[in-house]
Structure 1
Amino acid sequence: MKDWSIWCAKVVELAKIESASRPFIKKLLESMQAGLDLPKPEEAHDMACLEILSRLLYPRGFPKNTIFMKHFERTDIDVDAEVSTIEQTEPYLVITGRPGEESAQTFVCYDAAAAGSLADLLVWWKQLSGLGPGYGYYVNASKSWLVVKEDYYDTACTLFAGTSLRITTEGRPYLGAPLGSPEFKSIFLQERVCQWRNDIIQLSNFASSQPHAAYSAMIHGLSSRWTFLTRTVCDLSSQLAPLEEAIRLHLLPKLCLHAPNDSERAMFALPIRQGGLGVFDPCKSSQDNYQFSTSVTSPLASAILNQLSCFDSSILQQQRALKQEALSIKRQNLSQRFSEFFSTLSNNLQLSLKLAGEKGASSWLSTLPLECHGFALHKGGFCDALALRYGWSPKNRPVSCVCGRSNNIEHALSCPNGAFPTIRHNDIRDLTAELMSEVCHDVSTEPPLQPLSGESLSLRTANQDVGARLDIKASGFWGSWFEPTFFDVRIFNPYAPSNRCNPYRQHETLKRRQYEERVREVEHGNFSPLVFSTSGGMGASTTVAYKRLAFLLSCKWKSPYCRVMSWLRCRLGFSLLHSAIMCIRGSCSSSGHPFKGHVPASVDLALGGLQIKTRDGQWIDVPPIDDTLAVNVCDIAEVWTNGFCHSVVHCVTKPVSADRYSVAVFIDPHLDCVITPGEAAGNSKCVVDERLEKVASKPFRVLDYAMELYSRSLKH
C-alpha cells in the first residue's frame, strides 16, 4: 500500500465511518504493513470502526471471525497483495504477531482449536489471549476445554493453573463429533442415538394427524443430524441400529398406514428421484457417507495440517474435482443397486416406480409443505398420494364405481362421472394462462380458430371444424410481441393399457397432427402441445415450453431461473396430485350430504327411509305420499332462488323388513352455465344459508363453483 491516506479515505467513504476514527484506521493499517502490534481501540467509535473494517474484508458476507488467521512468522506483509488474496481466496482477515515468534497457526473456523505438546499449547493460549481482542476475538476460558491423556493430567493442571481453562481426560464434542477416549466416544454416540430415537417416536405420534409435515421434518431436518455424524465418525452401522428400528416400526407405518415389508423398506430407502421416499437406512448409508466426506474434504484437511495461510484456487479446483468424482461414483452405485432391486419387483410396481421417477413426478415430496403456496396435504391426501405413487389400493373406497365398473385406480383416473377429468384439465389450463399473463400479452383461454375458407390441410387427421378451439393463446411467448402461440392441454392416465408404450410422444404427435398445420397456415402462429400424465410427468415439448415460461418469469420477477422452474414444477405437480386425489375420492358419497348439482329427484315407492336434517341438527323422516315426488334441491338452486328453495342434508336408511332400492336422478346445468344469485327468486325476501353467502355474492360459473368446492373438500 503506497498511499495510506487515499486508501483510508476510500474506506471511510465506503463504510461511512466517523471522521474521528480516521487516525485509528491509518495507525491500524500501518501496523499491519510493518508487522507490529496492532493498536487496541480505546474509544467507542474506534471499536465500531474496527467492526466495520473487519466486515469490509469479508467479501462473501460471512460473520466476523468466520475465518481467523494468525501469522506469527511473517513480518513483510504486502497489504495490497493481501487484499487481493482476500478477494480471490478463502482467507478474509490476516493478523500478524511480533517478529521472531516461533509459534504459528492458521484458524479456519470460528472456534479456535489446536493440538500439540502442552508447552506449545500454553504458548499458543497466551498469544491467542493477548492478540485476539485486538481483532475482535475474545477468548472465553470458562467455555474452553483441554483434552489430555490421563498420564499428563497433573502436568496440564500445573502448566495451565490460573488460566481458568477446563481440563478433562475423557473427551469433548468438537464441531458435532466426539473427540477423546474410546469410552467417551461410545457414551457420546449412545446418548445421541437414544435422543434421536426418541425424536423419531415423537415425530411418529405427530405423523398420525400430520403425516406430510412429519415426513418433511424427517427428510429435511431430523435425518440431517445423524447424517452429519456418519460423515465425521467411521463405522457407525451397529450403533445406529436403534434408529432404523424406530423408523421401520414407528414412523413408516404411520406414513403409509401399514407395516412395510423388506421390499417396501428397500423401496422407501431409494432417493426420491428414483421413486423412493428418501428415508435412508442409517445403518447401510453410514459407511458410504464417511467415505464420501473424507474423499471430498481431503484437500482442505491437508491444507489445515500443513498450516497453509491461503487456500488458493488449485485447492478449490482439486476439491471440486474430487467432489464430482465422488458424486459420479455415488450415482453409479445407486444406479446399480436400483437396477438390481428393480428386477425383483412385480410388473405393476415396476410401472409405478418408472412413473414416480419421471422429472417433476416427485416434486410434491421434495418440497416443503407450505400452505401459502398450496403445497400442504392433509392426512388423507398424503396417504392417497402415496397410494397413487406405488399403485396401492386406497383405504376405505367403494369396490365398484357408480358406473358399475371396478373402482380401481386405473378406472378412477379416467371415469368421466363427476366431470373430474374436465376439472383436472381446466385447472392446468387456467394456471398456465395465469402465469403467461405475467409475461405475455393478449392471453386468453379457449380461443376460437378462424374458420377455413378454401385452405387445404395435408393431414387427414387435422381438425377442420368450424368451431374448433384450443386451450390457451398468448402473444410474445416464442416470437415477437405480435406472433401468437397456441397451446392445447392433454392429461392422460398412465395406468391405462393404451398408454404403456411411449405415451408422451404419442399424445404430442396426435396433438400436432390435429392443430399444428392449421395454426401455422391459417393463424400464422406457433403451436405447442402441453401433455402431462396424472402422475406429474410431462412430455419433451411440454418441458421446453415450461422452461421458456420459467425463463420469462425469472426475468420478470428478477429471481434465479432454477428457483422459478422448481416452483413451477411444484405448482403443476400439486395441481395434478390434487386432481388425482379428487378422482379417486370425489366420486364416493357419504351417508349424509347436500346435493351439489341442480335439481335431484328421489322416487320412493311406499317403503320410505328418506330422512332430512333440520337447521337445529335433528334428523326427521320424510314419509311417502301417494302420487307425489319428494324433491331435494341443491346448493345452486338455493343460491339461484335466493334461499326460497332450501338445500338440505339428507340420507337414506335401510328398512329392516324388506330390501330397498334407490334410484337417484340428477338434473344439472351445463358446466359453462352462469348462475345469477336470486335470479329465480322474484320478489322473495328469503336469504341463503350462511355457508353459501360467499357464493351468493356475485354471478358464477357452475364449473368454477365445482372446482372450488372439491378443492375445499381436499383441504379438509
Structure 2
Amino acid sequence: MKKTQVKQVAYADALTGTGKIIDLRKWWTLVNDNGPIIGYTPNVTKSVLIVKPEHYDNGVRLFDGSEAIVTKDGQRHLGAVIGTEEFKVKYVGEKVSEWVKEVDVLSDMVKTEQHAAYSAFTHGLQHRWSFVKRTIPGISLLLRPLEDSIRNIFLPALLRSHIIGDNERELLTFPPRLGGMGITSPERLADKENLNSINLTSSLTEKIIAQDANGETDQNAILELKKTISRDRQSAQVESLERLKGALLDDTVRKIHTAQETGASNWLTCLPIRAKGFSLNKQEFVDAVALRYGWPVEGIPKTCLCGSPNNVNHTMTCKRGGFVCIRHDEVRDVTASMLREVCRDVSTEPTLLPLDGEQLQYRTANIANEARVDVSARGFWTRGQRAFMDIRIFDPMAACHRGISLEAAHQRNEQKKIRAYGDRIQHIDQGSFTLLVFTTSGGMGPKAKCFYSRLAYVMAEKKH
C-alpha cells in the first residue's frame, strides 16, 4: 500500500486509522482498492468515522458516497470507547446497568447457593468490568452504582445480613492470602488499573504513533514491568491493611493474622466442586465466614453440654460433644488416604514399640506401653524407613495462646509433641517423627508445610 499521512494499526480484522479528515479519505480509498488484493475486505456497514464536532460537516461532505458512518459523538472500539465525554458517560453507564442486573441475579442465587455464588463472583463476574477499567480513563465515579449494588445487595445476601460498615467492606476487598475475600471494589480500583495499563503498553503505543512496523517490543522489559506493578500492588495492599488494623478490634486483628496462614484460605480460593467434597452448603459457608472474622454465629446454645457458658471460643476447645475429635480425625484420615497412594504399610493410630527399661531424654516423654501416634507410613522421607506423623489442632483464640504470636503458638505445640514422642520414635522405633500442627482455621505450622509439600511432590511425580 502507498504511504499515507494516516497513522494506522490493525488488530486481527479490525483496521484503525487516525489523522486529518482529508488524509483519512485518501487512506479509505487505498484500503478499499488494495485491501482485497491481500485478503482484507472492508465491511462498510461497520466502518465508522469519528470526528470532532467542529469538523462534522466537513467529514460528512468528504465521505459522501462512501457509505461509511460519520459521527461526532463516539463509537465503541475493541471493547473500549472513542469519542466525547458525554458518549463515554453514556457507554459506561449502559455497561454498569448491565452489570448491576447481573449482580442482582447473583444476589438471588446467593439465597440458596452461597458458596457457588461467591465463587462465581470472584472467579467470573468481577472480571467482566476489568477491561473497561483498564482501557477507559476517569470512570471511577461512573462505577459507583455497581459498587453500591455489591455492597448493599450482594454482600448482605452473601453474609446473611451482617452489617457491612466501611471497615468490613475494605477488609473484604483484600485477597484471601491477606485475610480478605477478594471481593474487589470497582470504583476504588479503576484509576489505578487504567494507569497501570497505560504504563504497561507505553512501548507499543510509542511504536504505533511512530508507525514503526519493524521494531519489536522488549518482552523482557514488559515482563519486568508486570512484576514491578504486581509488587507495588501487593505493597499497597499490605500498607492499606496495616492502616485498617488500627481501626479494628484486637480479636479481629488476631483473626486476620490467622486467616493469612498457609492453608487457611484454601476453602475460599478453590472451586466448590461437590464431587471432591469442596462445596459448602449455605449454612456452612455463612458460619465459616463468621468464624474467619470473629463475627456472631447464629444458633449456638447459650450453655454447653459440659455446663459452661457457651460461645464460639468455648466450642472450639470443649472436649464434650465430639467436635474436637471429629476435626482431628478428619485430618488424620485424609492424610492417611493420600499417603496410601505413594507409600507402603500405611496405618492409622499405630502402637509404638514398648519400652524395656530404656531411658528417654525428656521427663514429659510418653512412656506408656500402649502409646500411639496418628499415622505411620514406610518410605516417606527415607527409603525403607518408617515415618510417624502426629496431628495437633489448636485454637489461636484460646486463653493459653491469645497472649503470644501465632508463630510462637505453633512452636509451643510442636515442642510439646516432640518432647512426648520424638526421642522415643527416633531411638526405640528407629523411625522419623513429623508433627503436623494446624490452627482451627486450617493454617499450617512449619513442619506441616514441609510435610504436605513433600507429599504433593511425591503424588505429582507418581501420577506424572
What is the TM-score normalised by the length of structure 2? 0.91
Go from structure 1 to structure 2 and tell me whether the alpha carbon gap of 1:545 and 1:120 turns closer, same or farther (over 3 Å shift).
farther
1:353 maps to 2:256:
yes
Contact 1:360–1:536 (CA<8 Å) still a contact in 2? yes
1:217-259 alpha-carbon deviations (Å, 9 max, x no partner): 2222222122321211222222111112212211111112223
1:690 corresponds in structure 2 to none
Report which structure shows greater RCO (CA 8 Å, sep ≥6).
Answer: 2
Point out the structure with the larger helix share: 2
Residue of structure 2 aligned with 1:533, choices 439, 451, 455 = 439
Amino acid at match of 1:234: P
1:536-582 alpha-carbon deviations (Å, 9 max, x no partner): 10100100111111111221223xxxxxxxxxxxxxxxxxxxxxxxx
Residue of structure 2 aligned with 1:472, choices 372, 375, 381 = 375
- Which structure 2 residues correspond to residues 126-165 of structure 1 after superposition, within 5 A? 126=32, 129-133=35-39, 139-150=42-53, 152-153=55-56, 165=68
1:368 corresponds in structure 2 to 271
Residue of structure 1 aligned with 2:390, choices 481, 488, 508 = 488
1:273 corresponds in structure 2 to 177
- Which structure 2 residues correspond to residues 63-74 of structure 1 after superposition, within 5 A? none
What is the TM-score normalised by the length of structure 1? 0.60
Contact 2:17–2:24 (CA<8 Å) still a contact in 1? no
Contact 2:178–2:259 (CA<8 Å) still a contact in 1? yes
1:205 corresponds in structure 2 to 108
Amino acid at match of 1:198: K
Residue of structure 1 aligned with 2:201, choices 293, 297, 304 = 297
Go from structure 1 to structure 2 and tell me whether the alpha carbon gap of 1:405 and 1:320 turns closer, same or farther (over 3 Å shift).
same
- Which structure 2 residues correspond to residues 286-685 of structure 1 after superposition, within 5 A? 286-309=190-213, 312=216, 315-480=218-383, 482-500=384-402, 501=404, 502-558=408-464
1:173 corresponds in structure 2 to 76
Contact 2:171–2:241 (CA<8 Å) still a contact in 1? no
- Which structure 2 residues correspond to residues 45-56 of structure 1 after superposition, within 5 A? none
CA distance in structure 2 between the partners assigned to 1:411 and 1:468 by the alignment: 28
1:80-125 alpha-carbon deviations (Å, 9 max, x no partner): xxxxxxxxxxxxxxxxxxxxx4359663545333323313531552
Helix, strand or coil: the match of 2:448? helix
Identity over the aligned pairs, expressed in percent? 37
Helix, strand or coil: the match of 1:114? strand
CA distance in structure 1 between the partners assigned to 2:329 and 2:343 by the alignment: 20
1:465-524 alpha-carbon deviations (Å, 9 max, x no partner): 2111221112221122x1221111111122111123221111111121222222221222
Go from structure 1 to structure 2 and tell me whether the alpha carbon gap of 1:419 and 1:121 turns closer, same or farther (over 3 Å shift).
same
Helix, strand or coil: the match of 2:255? helix
Contact 2:10–2:16 (CA<8 Å) still a contact in 1? yes
Helix, strand or coil: the match of 1:375? coil
Helix, strand or coil: the match of 2:397? coil
Contact 1:106–1:308 (CA<8 Å) still a contact in 2? no
Amino acid at match of 1:260: I
1:283 corresponds in structure 2 to 187
Helix, strand or coil: the match of 2:362? coil
User: 1:353: how far off?
Assistant: 1.2
Go from structure 1 to structure 2 and tell me whether the alpha carbon gap of 1:176 and 1:460 turns closer, same or farther (over 3 Å shift).
same
1:563-619 alpha-carbon deviations (Å, 9 max, x no partner): xxxxxxxxxxxxxxxxxxxxxxxxxxxxxxxxxxxxxxxxxxxxxxxxxxxxxxxxx
CA distance in structure 2 between the partners assigned to 1:440 and 1:240 by the alignment: 54
1:652 corresponds in structure 2 to none
CA distance in structure 2 between the partners assigned to 1:171 and 1:160 by the alignment: 17
Which range moved further: 224-233 or 374-383?
224-233
CA distance in structure 2 between the partners assigned to 1:120 and 1:138 by the alignment: 17
Residue of structure 1 aligned with 2:130, choices 227, 252, 255 = 227
Larger radius of gyration: 1
CA distance in structure 2 between the partners assigned to 1:537 and 1:128 by the alignment: 64
CA distance in structure 1 between the partners assigned to 2:86 and 2:112 by the alignment: 41
CA distance in structure 2 between the partners assigned to 1:429 and 1:139 by the alignment: 66
CA distance in structure 2 between the partners assigned to 1:495 and 1:138 by the alignment: 69
Amino acid at match of 2:390: D
Amino acid at match of 1:170: D
1:397-416 alpha-carbon deviations (Å, 9 max, x no partner): 22111222122111111222
1:196 maps to 2:102:
no
User: 1:155: how far off?
Assistant: 5.6
CA distance in structure 2 between the partners assigned to 1:308 and 1:516 by the alignment: 68
Go from structure 1 to structure 2 and tell me whether the alpha carbon gap of 1:143 and 1:439 turns closer, same or farther (over 3 Å shift).
farther
Amino acid at match of 1:250: I
CA distance in structure 2 between the partners assigned to 1:396 and 1:182 by the alignment: 53
Go from structure 1 to structure 2 and tell me whether the alpha carbon gap of 1:420 and 1:140 turns closer, same or farther (over 3 Å shift).
same
Helix, strand or coil: the match of 1:413? helix
Amino acid at match of 2:451: A
Contact 1:439–1:556 (CA<8 Å) still a contact in 2? yes
Amino acid at match of 2:391: V
Helix, strand or coil: the match of 1:443? strand
Helix, strand or coil: the match of 1:276? coil
Aligned residues: 454
Amino acid at match of 1:546: Y
Helix, strand or coil: the match of 1:552? helix
CA distance in structure 1 between the partners assigned to 2:54 and 2:31 by the alignment: 21
Go from structure 1 to structure 2 and tell me whether the alpha carbon gap of 1:442 and 1:151 turns closer, same or farther (over 3 Å shift).
same
Amino acid at match of 2:235: Q
Helix, strand or coil: the match of 1:417? coil
User: 1:161: how far off?
Assistant: 6.2
User: Which consecutive unaligned segments of at least 5 residues does structure 1 have?
Assistant: 1-71, 73-100, 559-716
